[in-house]
């Protein structure tokens, strides 16, 4: 039932449909939910197209006509995680996954495969709107007003180039998701200083941090694994328990 998936959202002002509507693809086999979200999101600046199976979704996504994808992981035929993996093999389009309440393993796997964010059912459509806008800001390089003034950074053996959206570490090119790239940008900008989860959520993701939201910790975990340790064995990104994270310098070195 749709009522068990969508939480009440209160009264919403209806925005006029304009040429600036943000076009997204909704992939969910619940036709009633798709119709409801199409109506709601259309009021707040989105143009929504819906598909109900994975094969149709792949064809649509690779057409390049969408700014983002909202993907339910429980799909018939081709499962959402498999679909997500196929998309990520060819495209960096922002993807927000929908998972069942309590299915933490699905959220973790989704983020590991390359999802930019997740939302558990039941959800408030206002939160879906906020998260969609946040992933779009990140993908468009608008999460930070300083990004255009943030030149390439050399940090030990790591080279971060925001203009090219590229990261090299120890002469290897790192393939980071948009979320990982933005988190690394914030940490490098504050190298040597502890950055709280609140600051990371607002600067990198464009939203306030919720204590129940583990996405930051999961993205940081993947980022730390991709970066590895410094040649001296020390950690590049240190977890400060109960506070946040810090982009560290090699042992015995205070700054670049």
CATH 3.40.50.2300: which residues of the chain? Answer: 2-139
- Secondary element (H or E) of residue 200: helix 197-200
Query: Within 10 A of 175 (CB to CB), how many other CB atoms are there?
Result: 13
| Interatomic CA distance for residues 113 and 49, integer angstroms | 24
| Interatomic CA distance for residues 201 and 183, integer angstroms | 9
What pLDDT was estimated at residue 16? Answer: 44
* 180-208 residue pLDDT tens: 888 999 999 899 999 998 888 888 877 66
* 57-78 residue pLDDT tens: 888 888 778 999 999 988 877 7
Q: Which regions in the chain score pLDDT beneath 70?
A: 1-20, 101-102, 141-151, 207-213, 252-256
What's phi and psi for 223, nearest 5 deg?
-65, -45
Decide if 60 contacts 66 (C-beta within 8 A): yes
What pLDDT was estimated at residue 147? Answer: 42
Q: What is the largest CA-CA distance in the chain?
A: 60
Chain-centroid distance of CA 116 in Å reads: 2
What DSSP designation does 249 have?
-
CATH 1.10.10.10: which residues of the chain? Answer: 147-247
Say what the pTM is.
0.60
What pLDDT was estimated at residue 208? Answer: 65
3-state class of 40 per DSSP? helix
Decide if 223 contacts 162 (C-beta within 8 A): no
The dotted CATH code for 147-247 is 1.10.10.10
Q: Does the domain formed by 2-139 have CATH 3.40.50.2300?
A: yes
Query: Within 10 A of 229 (CB to CB), how many other CB atoms are there?
Result: 12
Residue by residue, DSSP assigns 127-177 as HHHHHHHHHHHHHTT-S-TTGGG---EEETTEEEETTTTEEEETTEEE---
Q: Which two tokens stand for residue 214?
A: 């583990």
Q: Which two tokens stand for residue 90?
A: 């060819």
């Amino acid at each position: 039932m749709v009522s068990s998936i969508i939480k009440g959202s209160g009264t919403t002002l209806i925005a006029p449909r304009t040429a600036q509507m943000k076009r997204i693809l909704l992939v969910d086999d619940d036709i009633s939910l798709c119709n409801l979200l199409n109506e709601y999101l259309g009021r707040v600046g989105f143009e929504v197209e819906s598909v109900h199976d994975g094969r149709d979704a792949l064809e649509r996504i690779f057409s390049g006509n969408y700014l983002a994808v909202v993907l339910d992981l429980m799909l018939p035929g081709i499962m959402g995680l498999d679909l997500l993996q196929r998309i990520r093999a060819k495209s960096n389009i922002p993807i927000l996954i929908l998972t069942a309440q309590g299915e933490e393993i699905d959220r973790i796997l989704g983020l590991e495969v390359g999802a930019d964010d997740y939302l558990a059912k039941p959800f408030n459509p206002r939160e879906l709107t906020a998260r969609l806008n946040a992933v779009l800001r990140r993908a468009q390089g608008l999460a930070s007003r300083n990004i255009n003034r943030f030149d390439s950074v050399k940090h030990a053996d790591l080279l971060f180039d925001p203009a090219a959206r590229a990261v090299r570490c120890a002469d290897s090119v790192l393939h980071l998701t948009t979320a990982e790239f933005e988190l690394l940008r914030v940490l490098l900008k504050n190298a040597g200083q502890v950055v709280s989860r609140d600051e990371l959520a607002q600067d990198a993701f464009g939203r306030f941090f919720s204590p129940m939201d583990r996405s930051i910790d999961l993205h940081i975990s993947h980022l730390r694994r991709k970066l590895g340790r410094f040649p001296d064995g020390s950690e590049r990104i240190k977890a400060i328990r109960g506070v946040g994270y810090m982009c560290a310098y090699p042992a015995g070195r205070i700054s670049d």
